[in-house]
Amino acid sequence: MRHNISETKAVIEDRRTIRPENFSSRKVHKEIVMELLDSARWAPTHRYTQPWEFTIFMGESLKELSKFQSSLYRGSTSKDDFKLEKFEKLVNRPLSSSVVIGIGMKRDESEKNPEEEEIASVSIAVQNMMLVATAHGIGSYWNTGGVTYQPETKTFMGLEEGDKFLGFLYLGYPEGEWPRKTRRKPLEYFTNWKQP
C-alpha cells in the first residue's frame, strides 16, 4: 500500500463545512495557505488545462472584499428585496475569516474541453484545499451565494468573458470543538452495480 488508507479516509470523513460566524480569532499563516494552494494544483485536469484561478484575501484586503460585496449587494438590490441580514453577512463574513480565497475558472482559449469538465477540475482543486485545511484543523466554507454570480464580481476578481467565478472559500480555525460527523446515505442508496 502506498499510503495509510485509514488516515486518508479519516481526513475525508472529518471535513466539515464551518461558517465564518464560527471561526475564532486565531490566524491562518501564509505558509499554510501556500500549502493549500499547492495541493489544489494536483487536481485532475483534462489535457492539463489547469483551469483554476485563485484570488487570496488576507489581512487588510479582507476589508476590501467586505466593502465590495456589501456595496454591490446594496447597489444591485431593490428596496423591497434588500435584506439587512444578508447585507450584514456580506460585511462580516470576510472580516470573521482569516483567509478568503476567490475561486475562478479560467477558460482555456482553445475550448477543447467542455466547460463542465473545467468546472469539475476546479471543484476538485477546492476539495483538495479543504482536505488539507481539515488536516491542519482549519475550518472551511465554500459559499456560492451573495454576489458570486454577478458580472461585477467576475471583473473584481480579474476574470474575463469566457471565465467563471465559482464562489468564495472562507478559512479559519473553528471556535470550540470540531463539529461531529453528519449522517450520510448508505451506499445502496446511490450505487447501481451492473453484474456480468
Render pLDDT for 129-172 as a digit per residue (tens, 0 to 9): 999 999 999 999 999 998 999 999 999 999 999 999 999 999 99
- Contact present, 169 and 129 (Cβ < 8 Å): yes
Task: Using the predicted structure, report yes or no on whether residue 1 has a pLDDT greater than 90.
Answer: no
Across the chain, mean pLDDT equals 96
State the Rg of the chain over Cα. Answer: 18
Cα–Cα distance for residue pair 145/69, rounded to 1 Å: 11
Locate 94 and state its grid cell.
470576510
Provide mean pLDDT across the span 77-98. Answer: 97
Q: What is the pLDDT of residue 196?
A: 78
Task: Using the predicted structure, report yes or no on whether residue 11 has a pLDDT greater than 90.
Answer: yes
Q: What is the pLDDT of residue 186?
A: 94
Task: Using the predicted structure, report yes or no on whether residue 195 has a pLDDT greater than 90.
Answer: no
Q: What percent of the chain has pLDDT over 70?
A: 100
Q: For the sheet containing 139-143, what is the strand order?
A: 52-58, 99-105, 164-172, 139-143
The residues, any chain, with a CB within 8 Å of residue 40's CB and separated by 6 or more, are 52, 54, 125, 126, 128, 129
